[in-house]
Every structure is written in structure tokens, then in C-alpha cells.
Amino acid sequence: MDHVERIIEQWNRERPDLDVAPMALIGRLGRLARAWSREMEATFARHGLNAASFDLLATLRRAGPPHALSPGALIEATMVTSGTITNRIDRLVAAGLVERKPNPQDGRGFLVSLTPEGFSRIDACVTDHVATQARLVAPLDAADRAALDALLRKAAGTT
């Protein structure tokens, strides 16, 4: 019996009037997400990054050449506030991983672009990140992963 099963058993004993079955699923998903996040954070840390800096650098990297986006596009892609994105950009500028350049289509604005060091760092980190993710899902075969992915999309209402 695992930790979640013990909790469900206790609730079933103490509150047999409640259907606590969803608690098991949500509990397991939460525990798994936290465990996997710790593993991925360790991967980011080996590259001098955290989840927030990885997210911003990866967004720029996958945007394709010239690997530059406006702050508005970064806000939309990362789903954080303007204050948060400004703080992240400032930290990455100070670390030499991104730079602000004038926006050629908007003289009042600027673009955030990867520096050569930022490009190199995110490429190395994403390679390790993909390997970490593969290791984390290795207990599931391809059919299990596809089924779980479909079920999670269904639960999220995105099917």
C-alpha cells in the first residue's frame, strides 16, 4: 500500500459518506509532478538555470532565427505578468544570456534575443532536459504514454 492508498483508506474509514476516489488520482498526479519537477530543476541547475530562466531561454530558442521576441510575445508564450517577465529578462541580461535590441518594426519597443552564450547554454540544457524527461517516463512504454497523454488531454478539456 502506498502513501496515497493509506490516505484514501483513512478517509474511507472516517468519512464513508464521501467518494474520495478523485483524491487518489489528484494526489498521485500532484506527488508525481513535484517529484518530476525536482528532477528537472536539478537538470536546469547543472546549467546554471532554474525553471523560469529555462522557460524564457527555451521560448526564444524554439522561436527560430533570429531567436528574438518582443516582451509581449514572451508574456504570451510564458503566461507570466509584465513585471515578472521584466525581472526575468533583467536577470538573464545580467548573466549575459539575452540582450535587448531595438525592434526594427517598432521604434519605441525592443526585442529580447539570445546571445551566443545564451544560445549555447539553452541548447546544452534542452538536450539534457529531454534526456531527463525520457528517463522519468521510461517506466511507461510508448502505448502507455500515448494513453496517459490522451487521458490527461481529456481531463484538461483540450481534446
Query: Range of 90's domain?
Result: 38-156
DSSP designation for 109: E
Distance, CA of 56 to CA of 68 (rounded, Å): 11
Q: What is the pLDDT of residues 25-40, one digit of tens each?
A: 999 999 999 999 999 9
pLDDT tens digits, residue range 89-138?
Answer: 999 999 999 999 998 888 788 999 999 999 999 999 999 999 999 999 99
18: Cβ contacts below 8 Å, ≥ 6 apart: 11
Instruction: Confirm whether 22 is domain-assigned.
Output: no
Q: Are 70 and 103 in contact (CB under 8 A)?
A: yes
Q: Note whether residue 149 is domain-resident.
A: yes
- CATH number for the domain harbouring residue 129: 1.10.10.10
Q: Is 4 inside any structural domain? A: no
**How many domains does the chain divide into?**
1
Quick check: is 116 in a domain?
yes
In a domain, 10, yes or no: no
